[in-house]
A = this chain, B = another copy of it.
Amino acid sequence: MKICFIGATGHTRFVLDGIKGDKDVHIEGIAPGSKEEKIDSFIKKLNDKGYNVKAFDNYKDMLDEIKPDIAVVASYFGYHGRVVLDCIDRHCNVFVEKPVATDMKELDDIRNAYEKSDISLAAMMGIRYTPHFFTAWKAVQDGAVGKVRLMNAQKSYRLGNREEFYKSRKTYGGTIPWVGIHAIDWLYWFSGEKFKSVYATHSKSYNNNHGDLEISALCHFTFENEVMGSVNIDYLRPATAPTHDDDRIRIAGTEGVIEVREGKVYLINNAAQGIQELPLQSGGEIFTEFMAQVRGNGKCMVTAEDSFYVTEAALRARQSADEERVIKFE
């Protein structure tokens, strides 16, 4: 199995974690996703780990020369869509940093190209595989809270000093599509319901000189069957906080309430008195499962359809916030 990296900006660690111990995997090439992107330190990291990687200036040359089984797309977020299209054109399987695209037209083009192809594609919605989210999701699938009715999800990050490309909508894509998309994915994944509408707002105020970057955002989704869910997103987590991020979800259903908070899972339902802390189950590794799918002996929890649909939901939420109106899903 030959792997190439296009860009070194996103969550490349999913790949390095997922290939551990797999002797049939070879990282063969790396190229930036755009001219501005610096990938030298990641190349050094790969070399230090003993991978013999050839560096290219142009990712298309790399794809044509190496013909990788999987292209890992992790460049500036605003360029993913174009790069993914180039990969599908070359019949290359794609593991791509979310969102899949930052523009609805580009997303539609990718969907169409994907449907005509026989490739595998997954976006890096890797938080599904963390033990806390996976354990909570399994419990909900097993009926722990009955029918899902109301969901509240949170993404909170430290801001720090971000690279220049975060400061432009063109290269960054927006906080709802880049950060919020995880939580939007959880709402869809936990409830299993289709999106009906979204109302969202976001704000760049007090973003500490980060240009277009929205530092706070709030989304209100409705789903089929009168299920509803909110997503709150911020970069307001202080540097003194115990962790970089504070991912949470709370799901209230007809039989109970489950929560993910600080890496733990809490459940109250009629099966037991009081708050139960659930023992964590391993969710595995997203890239290991994606490779198994490419090899024809497995299935990644994040399907191509999920990747497109959740990207669409994030883009519609961003549109709602930009245009200050409710957007209905078609």
Q: Which residues of A contact B (CB under 8 A)?
A: 147, 149-150, 152, 154, 156, 199, 201, 203, 205-206, 215-218, 220, 222, 225-226, 228-230, 232, 234, 236-242, 250, 252-257, 268-275, 324-326
Contact of A255 among B238, B250, B273 (CB under 8 A): B238
Contact of A268 among B147, B240, B324 (CB under 8 A): B240
| Copy total for this chain | 2
What is the chain B residue whose CB lies nearest that of A261?
A: B261
Contact of A269 among B147, B238, B256 (CB under 8 A): B238
What is the chain B residue whose CB lies nearest that of A147?
A: B206
Dominant SS at the A interface? strand
Inter-chain pairs besides A152-B230, A236-B256, 9 sampled, C-beta below 8 Å? A149-B205, A149-B234, A152-B232, A205-B225, A220-B230, A236-B253, A237-B268, A238-B268, A241-B257
For A229, the chain B residues whose CB sits under 8 A away are 218
Q: How far is the CA of A275 from the CA of B237 in the complex (A)?
A: 11
A-B contact pairs, 12 of them (CB 8 A): A149-B205, A156-B252, A199-B326, A206-B254, A234-B252, A236-B253, A236-B257, A237-B268, A238-B257, A240-B272, A241-B268, A241-B275
Q: How far is the CA of A257 from the CA of B156 in the complex (A)?
A: 10
Contact B149 A206 (CB under 8 A): yes
For A203, the chain B residues whose CB sits under 8 A away are 149, 226, 228
Q: How far is the CA of A239 from the CA of B149 in the complex (A)?
A: 17
Known contacts being A156-B257, A252-B236, is A216 close to B150, with CB within 8 Å? yes
For A239, the chain B residues whose CB sits under 8 A away are 270
For A254, the chain B residues whose CB sits under 8 A away are 206, 236
Contact of A270 among B222, B225, B238, B257 (CB under 8 A): B238
Contact A220 B199 (CB under 8 A): yes
